[in-house]
Amino acid sequence: MRKLILLASLLTFGSMGIIDSSTAKDKYQIAEDYLEKQLEEERRLKQYHEDELTRFLQDVGFRESGNRYDVTNKWGYMGKYQFGRKTLKGLGFDVSKQEFLNSPELQEQAMMALLLHNKEKLQPFIDVFDGKIVNGMYISESGILAAAHLGGQGSVKRYFKNGRVFKDGFGTKITSYMSLFSGYDIKLN
């Protein structure tokens, strides 16, 4: 906003003759160059975060299913991210198993919906623990969200409140996901 005010002021003063027109043109060009650099930096940063999110999703998908959209494990968890029916339904995805397994787009939408939902519910814990060392482990937003994907947000809350570590049916601990997927610089809105 300050940039726009500066630019408008320069143009106004230049048109009123308060500053000489050649100086106004120079200042206008400086302001325009500055704004362009700021926009370029914002685009670069946005692309960086998109790339980090893509890398995070690929790595979680690989850990869950080898990035296969068509798999179901012995407990009925489905797709690239191994979603359960209850979680899908809770997120508003009321689809059949075949519809889900046959739609990579639907699976990616479900994962983004879950990440955003978990981020909203776990934001107080992210605010407190992001960037800290807990029990010898570096904690980050991405690690917290990965742990919530594995064991649910309740298990993440219990871990931070009383140290209780949830394990899934394969014996995988949420702390292993918290550590393994820590440090991705994702920015979810």
Output the pTM of the full model: 0.80
Considering the domain boundaries, does residue 161 fall inside one? Answer: yes
Is 170 a domain residue?
Answer: yes
pLDDT of residue 96: 96
Domain for residue 130, yes or no? yes
SS3 160: helix
**Any domain includes 151:** yes
In angstroms, what is the C-alpha Rg of the chain?
24
* Nearest to 61, CA basis, from 115, 98, 26, 108: 108
pLDDT, residue 35, reads 84
Predicted local confidence at residue 31, as pLDDT: 80
Instruction: Report if residue 143 sits inside a domain.
Output: yes
Question: Is residue 188, in this structure, part of any structural domain at all?
Answer: no
Q: Kindly state the DSSP code that residue 138 receives in the 8-state scheme.
A: E
pLDDT of residue 7: 47
Give me the number of domains the chain comprises.
1
Domain with 88 in it: what CATH number? Answer: 1.10.530
What are the backbone dihedrals phi and psi of residue 166, each rounded to the nearest 5 degrees, phi first?
-75, 145
The token pair at 128 is 């407190």
- Please give the chain's pLDDT, 189 residues, in tens: 555 454 455 445 445 555 555 576 677 878 888 888 888 989 998 898 899 999 999 999 999 999 999 999 999 999 999 999 999 999 999 999 999 999 999 999 999 999 999 999 999 999 999 999 999 999 999 999 999 999 999 999 999 999 999 999 899 999 999 999 999 999 887
Domain hosting 49: range is 2-180
Neighbours of 60 (CB within 10 A): 25
Q: pLDDT value at position 12?
A: 52
